[in-house]
């Protein structure tokens, strides 16, 4: 065998050795490659589910919003609070208030830092709406208790939630967090006070007034017309003022 043949054989062995090394490197890095692809796919799917949940909520498709939000639950390592937050918000839009409260409370346990701001606001709004429902059903004691719970949630919201940084992370930039908290606090205090007054026993003078002769039908109709007019004016004012006595929509 000539020197040329020896060189060719050595070169061939070197190429074979390099191919074996590349093959083993490829096999060794395959799990990392698959993991990277899984992470990228998960991130993209999370954005897709979140976008679908938000867009469905905006058009009042609460069932679609809830369904998309539940797609965020699987292996959500990055923002674990987001799935129950979006689910709870969608359930609140559908007036499934107890279930919405349970999901938002789960989200609050998972949220950290400024993430708690929107969760606490929505949770307080849901509890307030539960109080409104109890009041409409004539359960004054439950309504007063729920208003108190909602007020506690609002008052105990961290001061950092009023910062510009928190506002930048708000799910609805058009609604100011600080104004929302202030409006909710004033509204809940008023509702709680009204409910407590309704629960107080009547004084003898009030009972005597109830026993007095009732006004005629014509006077009652005049009073009803005035009340209806005042209600319409108040509703118009509340429509212009999100901080009115009505309860805000979760966001």
Cβ-in-10-Å burial (0-12, 13-18, 19+) of 99 comes to middle
For residue 8, being part of any structural domain is answered with no
Q: Note the pLDDT tens digit of each residue in 168-222.
A: 888 887 889 999 999 999 999 999 888 888 877 655 554 455 555 555 555 555 5
Among residues 198, 222, 242, which one ends one of the domains?
198
Q: Note the pLDDT tens digit of each residue in 69-105.
A: 777 767 666 788 988 999 999 999 999 999 999 999 9
**Both 188 and 162 in a single domain?**
yes
Query: Which residue is listed with tokens 């429509």?
Result: 239
Q: Note the pLDDT tens digit of each residue in 33-68.
A: 555 544 444 455 555 555 566 676 666 677 788 877
Among residues 99, 132, 147, which one ends one of the domains?
99
Higher pLDDT, 44 or 8: 8
* DSSP letter (8 states) at residue 175: S
> Which one, of 212, 221, 152, lies nearest residue 188 by Cα?
152
Domain span including residue 135: 112-198
pTM summary value: 0.65
**Both 124 and 148 in a single domain?**
yes
């Amino acid at each position: 065998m000539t020197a040329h043949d020896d060189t060719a054989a050595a070169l061939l062995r070197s190429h074979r050795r390099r191919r074996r090394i590349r093959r083993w490197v490829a096999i060794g890095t395959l799990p990392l490659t698959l993991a990277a692809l899984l992470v990228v796919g998960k991130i993209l799917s999370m954005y897709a589910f979140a976008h679908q949940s938000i867009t469905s909520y905006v058009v009042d498709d609460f069932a679609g919003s809830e369904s998309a939000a539940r797609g965020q639950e699987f292996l959500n390592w990055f923002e674990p609070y987001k799935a129950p937050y979006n689910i709870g918000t969608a359930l609140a839009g559908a007036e499934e208030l107890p279930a919405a409260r349970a999901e938002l409370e789960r989200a609050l346990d998972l949220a950290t830092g400024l993430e708690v701001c929107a969760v606490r606001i929505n949770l307080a709004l849901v509890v307030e709406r539960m109080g409104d429902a109890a009041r409409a059903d004539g359960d004054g004691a439950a309504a007063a208790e729920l208003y108190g719970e909602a007020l506690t949630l609002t008052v105990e919201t961290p001061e950092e939630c009023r910062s510009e940084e928190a506002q930048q992370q708000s799910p609805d930039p058009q609604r100011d967090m600080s104004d929302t908290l202030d409006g909710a606090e004033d509204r809940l205090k008023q509702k709680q006070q009204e409910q407590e007054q309704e629960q107080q026993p009547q004084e003898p003078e009030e009972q005597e007034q109830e026993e007095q002769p009732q006004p005629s039908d014509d006077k009652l109709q005049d009073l009803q017309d005035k009340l209806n007019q005042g209600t319409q004016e108040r509703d118009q004012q509340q429509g212009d003022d999100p901080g009115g006595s009505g309860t805000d929509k979760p966001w």
